[in-house]
Amino acid sequence: MIKNKITYAGQTILTIYHNGFDNAINQRKTKIREKIGRFNIIFEEETVSDHEVSALCNTLLVKEGFLVPNHEYNPYSESGCAHLTHYINFDKPNKIFKILESEYIVSIPITDFQKINLFVKKYTGLNIEKNPILYGDILVYNYFKFSFEPNESNGIVFENIASDSTLVIKFKKESLIVFSKITYFESSVSKFEVNSPSNWNSFDLEIYMNDELYFLQENISYMRSIQLKFRQEKTIAKVRINQLSEHLEMKGLSTEHVTQIGEPNDEVEEVEEVLVKSNLNIRKKILKEQEKENLIFITPGELEKAIQIIIEFLQVPSDEVWIFDPYFTDKNGLKKAVDWLRILSHCRIQNKKIVFYCKNPENAYDHVTIIEELKLDPILNELIKSQKLLAIEFIEVKSPIHDRFIISRTKDEFSGITIGTSLNSMDRNHFCINRLNHSAAKKITTELIKWIESGNVIGINRI
């Protein structure tokens, strides 16, 4: 039996016994020391007698149970099952815990506690961060591993099956069981094969020995072929801007490359793959509609954060983008408005529309004077010369639309964000950016366009 012991600041904080590795490891003794915070943490591993475990009888509570692969108590992850005997110690290590109002709390800096958790996981395999109250306890594992692998006959080959064993296998295609078989072995067998008459992509396996569960694992699968896709980004464009930041980097266009490894799927499997992919994307869309935690709070010192959120949204290729910002053409924010137009000129958006309001020509530009003023900017003027048009349309309306919206449309898919301040005053205010799902973005766009087209346009101009 293998014993792992973790000590911190001279106190044992965790003891783990592993049964089932004796033949592989034999006699050995290991000691690893690191410093965490003010104290040393030590991992010790050695081979011990089974009698050491049988002497554990001074704890208040003992729990036993079977662990499947990837169970949070299973230190062997996917590699096998285990039977756990858990000796619970209610007197937790005082080097890392203290009692406050009848409850254990961490008594050391949380960063040091996290480092201890990582140390334990690294050397024992136990992800104790999920259950830190295990510190102070003794865990005894009986490890079970079973050998099997796929064959070329659409099945699985098993090796070294012990006598008085029962094997239960269920082959599955997605969530449907397409073939199952139960086999009892009165005597030991060195090799056994189970083949499915139907195609499958995963299977569940149960093995019983002497009428007790010995191995259980679900959704076991193998990679038969893979298609690797990667995008190659072109050179990042640096956008010269005035006041939003020193400069911004915009992603370039990308090209997709595909590499096929293994035999490609047949036509039926390709159709099924399309259905599965479609189902996944529909589920994603439903979940996207249900998202609630979409609000981001911005403070005056977080201008860069706000800019990146908006640019990330604008850089998604789309057919059309509407920007509703009543004060976009205010004269005291012109330089920032020019920065946003420079950014928009590098986005893959076919049509860009900016809806604004001009209450007083002395303080803001109207749909005519804004174009004249923008042509004085050397960067925009150079872009106009090279591209003829920036595909930006300015729509001046009769009354302000109070909230600020940026809404994107590609065919009949809508998305959007709301911004609690004008794009040219984000450095001066506390505000929120809220992401809009498809339904909300579509409704807002439909209603605002309907209002605009109901006689509320003063004039339209393009650049």
Tens digit of each residue's pLDDT (9 = 90 or more) over 34-81: 999 999 999 999 988 888 877 775 556 888 999 988 899 999 887 788
Of 434, 431, 435, the residue nearest 420 (C-alpha): 431
Is 41 inside any structural domain? yes
| pLDDT of amino acid 250 | 63
Q: Are 361 and 386 within one domain?
A: yes
Tell whether 287 is covered by a domain.
no
Picking from 88, 111, 144, the residue at the C-terminal end of a domain is 144
Last residue of a domain, one of 144, 162, 190: 144
Most confident stretch, 202-206, 260-264, 423-427: 202-206
* pLDDT of res. 223: 74
CATH number of the domain bearing residue 329: 3.30.870.10
% pLDDT > 90, the chain? 51
Verify that 317 and 356 share a domain, yes or no. yes
**What is the reported pLDDT for 370?**
93
Which amino acid would we find at residue 303? L
Are 253 and 318 found together in one domain?
no
Determine, yes or no, domain membership for 286: no
Residue 255 has a CB neighbour count (10 Å cut-off) of 9
Crossing angle of helices 303-314 and 334-345, rounded to 10°: 40
The mean predicted confidence, pLDDT, of the chain is 85
Whether 281 is covered by a domain: the verdict is no
Residue 235 belongs to some domain of the structure: yes
The reported pLDDT for the residue numbered 196 is 95
Extract the tokens encoding 306. Answer: 């706000």
Range of 77-91, 224-238, 436-450 with top mean pLDDT: 436-450
Distance CA 265, CA 175 (A): 19
Residue 282 lies in a domain: no
Q: What is the CATH number of the domain that holds 203?
A: 2.60.40.3750
pLDDT band at 235 (very low <50, low <70, confident <90, very high): low
What's the average model confidence in pLDDT over 135-152? 90
Domain of 137 in residue numbering reads as 2-144
Extract the tokens encoding 414.
Answer: 């809508």
Question: Do 13 and 134 share a domain, yes or no?
Answer: yes
Do 205 and 247 belong to one domain? no
Same domain, 208 and 312: no
| Residue 405 counted as domain residue | yes
Rounded Cα–Cα distance for residues 417 and 407 (Å): 6
Q: What is the pTM of this model?
A: 0.52
Confidence class for position 284, pLDDT limits 50, 70, 90: low
Domain shared by 192 and 321, yes or no = no
What is the residue type of 316?
V
Backbone angles phi, psi at 348, to 5 degrees: -85, 70
The pLDDT, as a whole number, for residue 292 is: 46
Q: Are residues 188 and 299 in the same domain?
A: no
Query: What distance, in Å, lies between the first and last C-alpha atoms of the chain?
Result: 78
Residues 49 and 133 in one domain: yes
Task: Render 176-242 in DSSP notation, one character per residue.
Answer: EEEEEEEEEESS-EEEEEEE-SS--SEEEEEEEETTEEEEEEEEE-----EEEEEEEE-PPEEEE-S
Same domain, 172 and 195: yes
Nearest CA to 21 out of 170, 157, 125 is that of 125
Does residue 283 lie in a domain region? no
Q: Are both 71 and 203 inside the same structural domain?
A: no
Q: Are residues 235 and 338 in the same domain?
A: no
pLDDT at 288: 57
Q: Is the pLDDT of residue 434 over 60?
A: yes
Predicted pLDDT of residue 294: 76
Most confident of 12-26, 183-197, 261-275: 183-197
Mean pLDDT of 5-29: 83
The percent of residues in the chain predicted with pLDDT above 70, rounded, is: 82
Among residues 156, 189, 220, the one where a domain terminates is 220
Q: How many domains does the chain have?
A: 4
